[in-house]
Structure 1
């Protein structure tokens, strides 16, 4: 898996103070995307052991609420296995930290993915510029949903937050 950046002390991509992993690779190519540099799956840097340790060093801080996976698309085909492994490892090592994931896929398309059981929130759906709304919490366009993953899995239906 390739990545572009690890943002520390982020307050914009999920609740609380977070660390954000910006992965490379996205096949959605949404017009108006705020991060098109991340679309190329071969762009950025290799997510190696040093990057992993950088992430964990941030998660070690008691004031960090959790991690957010963004990009690109963490559920781009070439990222899915690595994200699932990382999410599983973070859940085991940091059970009280929340894990958020942004994806252009719809919940119905990805709810069976291996990473999903380890996540707390998924923000789903492509960004649609015509539905842009800067007042929405945690998402860029009205079509996107902020999904409580654990409640949704338990209920067998989509449960949105807000």
Structure 2
């Protein structure tokens, strides 16, 4: 898996103070997407074990308390990303008690493959659906267009 950006302290992509990871790879290529540079799976830089360790360390850092981890992109549920995202969310669940996990994807909850469902079964909130330019609404919280749904899973 490749990644584009990691923010160890973020107050924009989910509630509270968070760690946020933007991954590479998106098959949806939504017109009007604000993050087109993340569409290609080979763009950005490799997501390494060292970066995974850094995320875990940051989530457990008591100097700057984080509510949780946000995963966006690109698309964390892109088929090429699923194995690494699954390992990451499993580690967060095991090593970062009390932290929530939010994820944004262009896939709809009812369209997920079994491996994508394995990931989603471990997160707290899924914001699903493609961004639709004609349904864009800046007043929406945590989503860009009104067709997208915020699913509180845990």
Structure 1 and Structure 2 fold alike (TM over 0.5): yes
Report SS of the residue matched to 2:61. coil
Q: 1:110 aligns with which of 102, 109, 112?
A: 112
Q: 1:75 aligns with which of 53, 77, 83?
A: 77
Q: Report the counterpart of residue 24 of structure 1 in structure 2.
A: 24
Separation in 2 of the partners of 1:8 and 1:30?
27
Q: Report the counterpart of residue 65 of structure 1 in structure 2.
A: 67
Moved more, 49-58 or 68-77: 49-58
Q: Which runs of 5+ in 2 are unaligned?
A: none
Superposition deviation, residue 85 in structure 1: 1.3
Separation in 1 of the partners of 2:21 and 2:144?
18
Stretches of 4+ aligned residues off by more than 2 angstroms: none
The normalised TM-score by structure 2 is: 0.93
Q: Report the counterpart of residue 96 of structure 1 in structure 2.
A: 98
Separation in 1 of the partners of 2:144 and 2:138?
6
Superposition deviation, residue 111 in structure 1: 7.5
Q: 1:140 aligns with which of 128, 139, 144?
A: 144
Q: Number of residues paired by the alignment?
A: 150
Separation in 1 of the partners of 2:131 and 2:10?
21
Superposition deviation, residue 54 in structure 1: 2.0
Measured on the aligned residues, the alpha-carbon RMSD in Å equals 1.2
Report SS of the residue matched to 2:84. helix
The normalised TM-score by structure 1 is: 0.89
Separation in 2 of the partners of 1:31 and 1:147?
23
Superposition deviation, residue 95 in structure 1: 2.5
